Chain A
Amino acid sequence: MTLPIIEFQGLSKTYIEAGRSHLVFNQVDTIIKQGEFTVLVGKSGSGKSTLLNLISGIDCADKGVIKIKDQSLSGMNENQRTLFRRKNIGFVFQNYNLIPTLSIMDNLLLPLELTGQINEASIERAHDLLDKLSVKDRSNYFPDKLSGGEQQRIAIARALIHEPEIILADEPTGNLDEETGQNVLSLLDELVREAGLTMVMVTHSRDVIGLADRVLTIRDCKLVELDSFE
């Protein structure tokens, strides 16, 4: 039996920009189960990134409850949410978000370094991940010396390094050419399934939609389930 890992109850989110309020989510209820691979599609500006930011605690809901692993994010303060994110969530961004002033190895180990949990085993794990993603020889480079595909592979390794239970990926191939993108996505899928992690990914890649357990989209400020065939 699979347990729910992400739960939305009556979630609402409004942005206020330049004096006008802009409703993104209205009374959303959803459950995502452990080990599920969920793909989120939808047109630009519909709120996909906002949803990921709400799950990771980068953003806060105005109303409703977000529960991750049975813990309510709404009850946490900024610092607690940062610590929670650091422990439970691995993030893959469209623009990779590698830190330009850190070497590839440091970028990879950053989530562990920030919590001071670095040890022999984790370094070994880092080398292992770099090996699997075939960027082993790049560990002492700085990000600007790497190609886009290589940078995204490092970002994927970084999202996995601290063994989080949830992986959030926001258009991870948006900046890559198709072939490189496919390559990166299948690697990500493989690694996530291998570890039995839960993943929510924003993407438009048809091939990935084929791999997903569920496909969601945002319509009229609500989350709507799509059939894979739709």
Chain B
Amino acid sequence: MNPVLLRSSLNFFGRHPWQLFLAILGIALGVAVAVSIALVKSSAEESFAHSTQTIVGKTTHRLVGGPDGIDESFYTKLRVEYGLRNIAPIVSGYVKATVGEHGETLILLGTDPFAEGDFREYSKLKEEQADNNVSVLTRLLSEANTAILDQKTAERFSLLKGGSLKVLSGGQQKSINILTSFDSESGDSIYNLENLLLSDISTAQEILSMPGRLSHIDVLLEERSPFDEHDLRKLLPGEIELLNAASQNASLKQMTSAFHTNLTALSLLALLVGMFLIFNTMTFLVVQRRTLIGKLRALGASRTQIFFMISFEAFIIGTIATLLGLILGIQLAQSLLMIVGRTINELYYFLPDTSLALNAGILIKGSLLGVFATVIAAIPPALEAAGVHPSQAMQRSALESNARTLSARASLGGLCCLIASLVLIQLSGSSIAQGFTAIFIIIIGFALLTPMLTLLSMTLLKPLLGKLLGINGRQACDSVSSSLSRTTAAIAALMISVATVIGIGLMVNNFRFSVNHWLESMLRADLYVSVAGPTSSASNNTLDITSLQQIKQLDSVHEVSTVRRIQIEATTGRTDLLVYGLNKRAYEGFDFKEKAADDIWQAFEQL
């Protein structure tokens, strides 16, 4: 770029540091929002996949039983009688753990360390020495109610050096002795998972009140295994199913797909807002300097020189802002991920690892978005500035008379956009990408309508303001309409920002409203008593039947409904089975898709 034009740009921003700051901030925010949401999305997905993978390990198949699991004698039978070596018993479930005031839901994973070798990565467990030179492994196996915790969770519980942890499962509180905590260096190590309480089989059975039962049996079927899938299936008693890992993953994915859809929608919205911010920032920077550019043109600066001056500015601002935006975006993603992680954790499944994965692809895409969008956004105003006639640029009225004819054309374009978007919405069905394209077109449409709407509202406002404020009021209206080229860019930017805020607000509210509605119709009772675990997960645990009797006998309790929720795993996927003992008032909480409710309830009572 020409050095004297470069100096002119530098001095312009030197004299208007706030403008430069706002430009950089605008672009940086755009990049940050887009990048952070994308990062959160990919981190959540990756961590989800990774933790699933770590828990599953090399498992190729899984043997599952009914809701009560599998009798452990079947495991012994498989190993001893059928000589199946690559199998590992698992007892797992959710427990509510507390130390003092601090409480969290943890996943308790009971394994047989000797069988585990082939499945999951336990690198350090064997070498680690406890206090008195007895290996942790030995203590874990030989002492009752012992477990280990991952380091991050241990830190939260202040149990880094071990100690006693109270766990609540199936309404019964027990005490567990934490031997030590493990840090996770190897990425694949099972200790890399958070909220994980690791014990041997018998401790897990004791805590989860599943004496003699296993949650499932992990199976590794290889070429050299004595059985293939088909043979193994023939050995299984009726209530035991053999599932392969692929179908398990698919059902996990299905479970979290709604969440991922939400994140995708959010990231597209963020991208949209980001692009619009950038475009407005650049337009404003150019429009503001039209007189200056006109002078340069009159003094012999060529169109190409002006064009390169603006583009170069955009490139530099875009680059700085993008760097800032990336840093900001990573920060933002870090805090967002905590929230998202907690939500996934509570609603869907265990999300043990909420560390941010700095996906290089996203960072590169974010950089390209920042730099390219800025440069591309600067092209129309740069072209316009370069194309300005030197004599015209020195008198803004020329531009404004231009702006008025342009505003008529823009409105026409805006109307076309609105119609096109309406058509697209009709056609889009449930496609998110098409829905967002439509929204994007709507935004552009309204932005294009802004100049006309501004003129119109000023014409309408002028008599009113004139009456209220006299000459000042009329002049204010006139100056807004007479400098359309500046005012409409600002008005459009403001309009879109406000619309975005309202839109997001509505979205959240709408979501809240439907949740609220759902809660009100579903949840009829005043109090709920449940076992520990994530809201949507079925549990093998049941409440103690004696405590149910006690609750019923309380004077203040009018009616009780009971529900048992179990998950049935089958080759076709997961099914939730809910078993109800309902009182009449609870009937109102059900909406049936087909048939009259009365008929259904009659049939239900006759079951």
Tell me, rounded to whole Å, the shortest Cβ–Cβ distance linking A92 to chain B. Answer: 11
B4/A102 in contact, CB under 8 A: yes
A59/B7 in contact, CB under 8 A: no
List chain B residues, Cβ under 8 A from A110.
Answer: 4, 299-300
List chain B residues, Cβ under 8 A from A53.
Answer: 391
Alpha-carbon gap, A100 to B289, bound state (A): 11
Tell which of A82, A97, A101 touches B394, judged by Cβ atoms closer than 8 Å: A97
Identify which of B167-175, B290-298, B584-592 touches chain A.
B290-298
List chain A residues, Cβ under 8 A from B297.
Answer: 82
List chain A residues, Cβ under 8 A from B11.
Answer: 101-103, 142
List the A residue with the shortest CB-CB distance to B12: A101
Tell me, rounded to whole Å, the shortest Cβ–Cβ distance linking A181 to chain B. Answer: 21
Query: Is B110 engaged at the interface, CB distance under 8 Å to the other chain?
Result: no
Which applies to chain B's interface (DSSP): helix, strand, loop or mixed? helix
A102/B7 in contact, CB under 8 A: yes
Query: Is B303 engaged at the interface, CB distance under 8 Å to the other chain?
Result: yes
B304/A79 in contact, CB under 8 A: yes
List chain B residues, Cβ under 8 A from A111.
Answer: 299-300
List chain B residues, Cβ under 8 A from A106.
Answer: 4, 7-8
List chain B residues, Cβ under 8 A from A59.
Answer: 389, 391
Tell which of B8, B9, B303 touches A79, judged by Cβ atoms closer than 8 Å: B303
Given contacts A53-B391, A102-B11, contact A82 B303 (CB under 8 A): yes
How many residues in B have their beta carbons less than 8 Å from beta carbons of A?
27
How many residues in A have their beta carbons less than 8 Å from beta carbons of B?
29
* Contact bitstring B5-21, A, C-beta under 8 A = 1, else 0: 10111011001000000
A114/B7 in contact, CB under 8 A: no
Alpha-carbon gap, A111 to B296, bound state (A): 10
Query: Is A116 engaged at the interface, CB distance under 8 Å to the other chain?
Result: yes
* Contact bitstring A83-119, B, C-beta under 8 A = 1, else 0: 1011000010100010111110010011101111000
Segment 95-149 of A: residues with Cβ below 8 Å from B: 97, 99-103, 106, 109-111, 113-116, 142
Query: Is A58 engaged at the interface, CB distance under 8 Å to the other chain?
Result: yes
List chain B residues, Cβ under 8 A from A109.
Answer: 4
B300/A86 in contact, CB under 8 A: yes
List the B residue with the shortest CB-CB distance to A97: B295
List chain A residues, Cβ under 8 A from B9.
Answer: 101
Alpha-carbon gap, A110 to B296, bound state (A): 9
Query: Is A17 engaged at the interface, CB distance under 8 Å to the other chain?
Result: yes
Query: Is B390 engaged at the interface, CB distance under 8 Å to the other chain?
Result: yes
List the A residue with the shortest CB-CB distance to B387: A78
A99/B391 in contact, CB under 8 A: no
List chain B residues, Cβ under 8 A from A18.
Answer: 401
Query: Is B238 engaged at the interface, CB distance under 8 Å to the other chain?
Result: no
* Contact bitstring B277-297, A, C-beta under 8 A = 1, else 0: 000000000000000100111
Given contacts A17-B401, A58-B390, contact A100 B292 (CB under 8 A): yes
B302/A79 in contact, CB under 8 A: yes
Alpha-carbon gap, A18 to B5, bound state (A): 35
Alpha-carbon gap, A98 to B2, bound state (A): 18
Tell which of B296, B300, B389 touches A85, judged by Cβ atoms closer than 8 Å: B300
List chain B residues, Cβ under 8 A from A102.
Answer: 4, 7-8, 11
Tell which of B295, B300, B390 touches A114, judged by Cβ atoms closer than 8 Å: B300
Alpha-carbon gap, A104 to B391, bound state (A): 23
List the A residue with the shortest CB-CB distance to B4: A113
B303/A58 in contact, CB under 8 A: no
Alpha-carbon gap, A103 to B305, bound state (A): 19
List the B residue with the shortest CB-CB distance to A52: B391
Query: Is B100 engaged at the interface, CB distance under 8 Å to the other chain?
Result: no
Alpha-carbon gap, A114 to B391, bound state (A): 19
List chain A residues, Cβ under 8 A from B401.
Answer: 17-18
Query: Is B581 engaged at the interface, CB distance under 8 Å to the other chain?
Result: no
List chain A residues, Cβ under 8 A from B429.
Answer: none
List chain A residues, Cβ under 8 A from B245.
Answer: none
Given contacts A102-B11, A109-B4, A110-B4, contact A58 B299 (CB under 8 A): no
Q: Quick one: which of B2, B11, B300 has the most chain A CB within 10 A? A: B300
List chain A residues, Cβ under 8 A from B8.
Answer: 99, 101-102, 106
Q: Top 6 nearest A-B pairs by Cβ distance?
A: A86-B300, A113-B4, A101-B11, A101-B12, A101-B8, A97-B295
List, sorted by A's number, 13 A–B pairs whose CB atoms are closer than 8 Å: A58-B390, A58-B391, A79-B302, A79-B304, A85-B300, A97-B299, A101-B12, A101-B15, A106-B4, A106-B8, A111-B300, A114-B2, A114-B300
B contact residues vs A (CB 8 Å cutoff): 2-5, 7-9, 11-12, 15, 292, 295-305, 389-391, 394, 401
A contact residues vs B (CB 8 Å cutoff): 17-18, 53, 58-59, 78-79, 82-83, 85-86, 91, 93, 97, 99-103, 106, 109-111, 113-116, 142, 158
Known contacts A101-B292, A158-B299, then 8 further A-B pairs from the complex at CB < 8 Å, ordered by chain A residue: A58-B391, A82-B303, A99-B295, A101-B12, A102-B11, A103-B11, A106-B7, A113-B3
